[in-house]
Amino acid sequence: MDIYLDTANEQEIEFASKYGFLAGITTNPSIISKENREFRQIIVDISSKINGEVWCQVTGETAEEMILEGREMSTWGKDIVIKLPMTEEGLSAAYQLKQEGIKVNMTLIYTLPQVVLAAKAGVDFISPYIGRMDDHAIDGLQFIKEAKEIIHQMHAETKVIGASIRNPQVVVDLAKSGADAVTMPFYIFKKMFASDLTNIGLKGFLNDWKQYQSAKKSEKSY
């Protein structure tokens, strides 16, 4: 399962750049709006620091506007994925951009009929919003499994990426359920490193090592 981070923050990107196993960085208009920098420059900077895909989302409302934005954004880095909303206009734009060799992701996926259409259009990724589904009594993990089954039966190559992640356990559950990828906020990524037992164990090792070193120094003093 590939791992992406939802962020455009410079400090978080710098931290993420140390982990070559990350598949890339995903952004959206809400994430970009938190940064006091020009949109294009943000994406260019991320692409220069991350060895992976950088996802950026169009804001146009018509297919024509989205296509123009997607073409422009695709030139902002070495491996750009264009995010489009799962609407009539968005899917029309996605199909055209795919014909031009541009990677696309359909975001805000909430229903299985939407999965069918996105897979038929041959998009590279779909992003079901797991957390928001769970908020509305829709089983997000079950949705992922059914989406994967539909895509397999259609002989499509669309990948399913779990989004709107609320805690590290959801990441584990997605890995077990067969999701192709997950994208998570930076704070969730940081939490995945943490364990009190790890800290206790490490402290014990270091204390024992200090005692060992002290004993060796005592032996040498005789």
Active site residues: 83
Helices and strands in the chain: count of H runs, count of E runs: 11, 8
Whether 23 contacts 2, CB under 8 Å? yes
- Give the closest residue to 86 by CA, choosing from 47, 50, 120: 120
**What are the φ and ψ backbone dihedral angles of 43, each rounded to 5 degrees?**
-65, -40
**What are the φ and ψ backbone dihedral angles of 16, each rounded to 5 degrees?**
-65, -30
Rounded Cα–Cα distance for residues 168 and 191 (Å): 7
Rounded Cα–Cα distance for residues 115 and 80 (Å): 22
On the 0-12 / 13-18 / 19+ scale of CB atoms within 10 A, 176 is exposed
- Single-letter code of the amino acid located at 76: W
Rounded Cα–Cα distance for residues 205 and 144 (Å): 41
Rounded Cα–Cα distance for residues 126 and 162 (Å): 8
Count of other CB atoms within 10 angstroms of residue 188:
18
Rounded Cα–Cα distance for residues 2 and 69 (Å): 26
